[in-house]
Amino acid sequence: MKFKDVALVFLSIEQTSSRLEITRLLAELLKKVSPEDARDLSYLVLGTLNPPYISTQFAIAQKTALKVVARVTDLSEVEIDARVKKIGDIGSVVQEFSWYGEKDLTVHQVFQHLKVLESVEGTGSQEIKIAQLSDLLKSLTPLGAKYILRVILGTLRLGFSDMTLIDALSWMEAGDKSLRKDLEHAYTVCADSGLIAYELKKGGIEAIRSMHIQVGIPIRPAAAERLENAAAIIEKIGSCVVQPKLDGFRLQVHVDKTGKEPIIRFFSRNLLDMSAMFPEFVEICKNFPVKTFIADCEAIVYDPNTGSYLPFQETVKRKRKHGIEEMVSELPLQLNMFDLLYIDGQGLLHKEHHIRRALLEKFYDDYVSHAHSIKPQLKTEQLSLLPSSDKQDADGVTTQTLQIIQEIQVATAQQLEHYFLKEISAGLEGVVVKKDDSFYQAGKRNFNWIKLKYQATSKLEDSIDVVILGYYPGKGKRAGFGIGAFLVGIYNESLNVFQTVAKIGTGLTDHEWVAMKKLCDEHKSVHQPKDVVCAKELYPTVWVEPVKVCEVIADEITISPLHTAGKTNSHLGFALRFPRFVKHRSDKSPYQTTTVQELLSMHKRE
C-alpha cells in the first residue's frame, strides 16, 4: 500500500472524535494491507516504530525539524518558525505546501526509512538526519510529510489508545467485536500490537488463540481496585492475604538464559524497557538458578544503615539515562518480588495465588542456596549483591538487595486493620490485599487485588491519578513563574475522551512550579485537543496534550456543574474539593489514570 493512501486515512481519523468511526477506519485500512504492513501500521498509528516496551527515539528536536522543512520548502527557518507559532504544529505547516512525492513510497519503504533514520548516531549525525529526513519528505505528499514529522517529533496523537486498535483488528477479521476477547488475551500476555496484527493477518484467529507468554515481551500488569477500610475489604472477599504496599518502581523482571548470553529485561508499569537503569539487578538475575523467569516486583530505594525505605521522591532519582553507576551506590535499590508469572517454560497466570506464592518462595530458597554455592567464585564487588543471609557489612548491617515481599494471612477486619496500621507506622503508604485463590488477571483491575492506603492530610481515603490538560497564568509571586494553576482530568474509556476533574494550585514548591511549566510547555497545543472535554468556563490559557500523569489528593469528591468527569445527560460531573499535587507519575500512561467508574465508587463511599 502507498503511504499517501495511509495519510488520507490518518486525516479522516484526525477529523473525527467518534471511537466507533475511528475503529471502522482503522479496520478498513488494516484489511487492505499485507501482514508485514499491518505490523508496521500497528506501530505507526500509535506514533511509534516499535512495540510499547521499546522506546522510539529519533533525537530530532523542533529546531532540527525547522531546518528540514526549510530545506524542503525553500523558505527560511525564520519564516517556517513564524508559521509554526501561528498554526501551532510544524506538520500542519508542511501540509500547506504543494509538491508531488517523487517516489510514491509504500508503507514498508517509509517504515524502513524511519528505522534507518532512528539508528543514525555519533559524530555528524544531525547533518545526516537532516539530509535523510529532507529526502524522505520530498518523496512523500505534503499530507504524508505532515504525519511523518509528527511521528518523528512524538506528537502524532490520532485520538485513540492501543485497545481501540485491538477492536479494529476484530472488526477487520470478523466485522464486529466478537474476537475482542481472544485478541485482548493475546495482547495481554504478549504486549506487542504489531505482532498481534501480523499473526492475525497471517494465521487468522487460531494463530491468536495459540499465542502464549514470550520471555522478553512484557505481560500487561494486573491492577488493584480500592475500598475505603478493612471492614469493607473483609466483607467483600473474606479471608485473604496481605502484602505491604511499597511506593517505588513497579518492575516486571524477565530472565532468559537459554542462549549463549543471558537476556535480562526490566519493564515498567506502562511497559517501557528500563533495563539500563538497574545494573545491580542484572548481576543478581544472572545468578538465578533457572532458564526462564518472569516476576512482578517493586524496586525501591532504601537506607542500608537502617533497612528502612526512602520516599518515592528519592526512588524516582534513579530514573535516568546518565550517571547510573554513581547512583547505584548513592541510592541503592532493593528489588522486592511479589508475584511469579512464569518459570522454566511454565506459565502461571492461571494458577491460584497460593500456588504462585509457593513457587516463588521455592525459587528464592533455591536462589539463596545457589548464591551460597557460588560465593567463593564472586568478586568483592559482587558480594554486596547476594541475598541478605549471605553477606553483612563490617558494622554488622545486613545488605538486602533482593527479597520476597512479606505476606500474611488475615481472616478478620481487626487483623487486617492491625497489619495496615503497622505498615503505616513503618512509613509505608498502605497494603495490598489479595484473594488467595485468585488467578493473575493480566491487564485487568478487579477485586482479586484491593489496595488500602492512608492519607493523613486528606478526608479522601486514597490518592487519584490524573492527566494534565492545561495551565493558567500565575498572579503575585507566581506571575514570575508563568503558571499559577493547572487543569487535570481523567480518562473515560467508554467515550474515549479525557474529562476535567480539578484545577490545582497547591502542593508544589517554587522550584516545582517552574519545572511544571517547562513540562507543560514541552507538550503544549495551540488548540484544544480533540479528545479533551472541557467546559468553556474552565478553558486554560495554555492547552496541554494529555500525555503526562500526576498523583493528587483532595478532601473529597463533589458534584460539579462545570467539570465533565462522569457527566451525562442526567447527571452532573465530579470534581475534587481542595486538590493538592503529590507527585508526577512517569510510570503511568494517560490511559492508566483513575477511571470515571473508580471516581464514582469513591464518591459513593464518602
- Written as one string, the DSSP assignment of 420-468 is HHHHHHTT--EEEEE-TT----TT-EEEEEEEEE--TT-SSSS-EEEEE
| 571 three-state secondary structure | coil
- Written as one string, the DSSP assignment of 207-253 is HHHT----TTSPPPPPEEEE-SSHHHHHHHH-SEEEEE---SEEEEE
Contact 436, 240 (CB under 8 A): yes
List the grid coordinates of 529.
Answer: 485537543
Count of CB atoms situated within 10 Å of the CB of 416: 22
Cα–Cα distance measured from residue 514 to residue 418, given in angstroms and rounded to the nearest whole number: 42
Question: Among residues 129, 201, 245, 391, which one is catalytic?
Answer: 245
List the grid coordinates of 159.
Answer: 485520538
What's the alpha-carbon Rg for the chain, to the nearest Å? 25
| φ, ψ at 464 (rounded to 5°) | -130, 135
Contact 234, 412 (CB under 8 A): yes
Amino acid at 283: E
Cα–Cα distance measured from residue 148 to residue 237, given in angstroms and rounded to the nearest whole number: 50
For strands 333-343 and 402-404, give the pairing.
parallel
Cα–Cα distance measured from residue 302 to residue 557, given in angstroms and rounded to the nearest whole number: 34
Picking from 286, 361, 269, 25, the residue whose alpha carbon sits closest to that of residue 164 is 25
Picking from 467, 466, 469, 590, the residue whose alpha carbon sits closest to that of residue 527 is 469
How many residues comprise the chain? 606
DSSP 509: -
| φ, ψ at 457 (rounded to 5°) | -100, 10
CA atoms within 13 A on the CB side of 184: 12
Count of CB atoms situated within 10 Å of the CB of 348: 21
Terminal-residue alpha carbon distance, the chain = 55
List the grid coordinates of 236.
Answer: 467483600
Cα–Cα distance measured from residue 249 to residue 587, given in angstroms and rounded to the nearest whole number: 7
Contact 190, 216 (CB under 8 A): no
Q: Which residue has the cell 507559532?
A: 85
Picking from 448, 352, 363, the residue whose alpha carbon sits closest to that of residue 404 is 363
Cα–Cα distance measured from residue 427 to residue 447, given in angstroms and rounded to the nearest whole number: 25
Report the alpha-carbon angle 309-312-313, nearest 5: 120
Q: Is 245 among the catalytic positions?
A: yes
Active site residues per annotation? 245
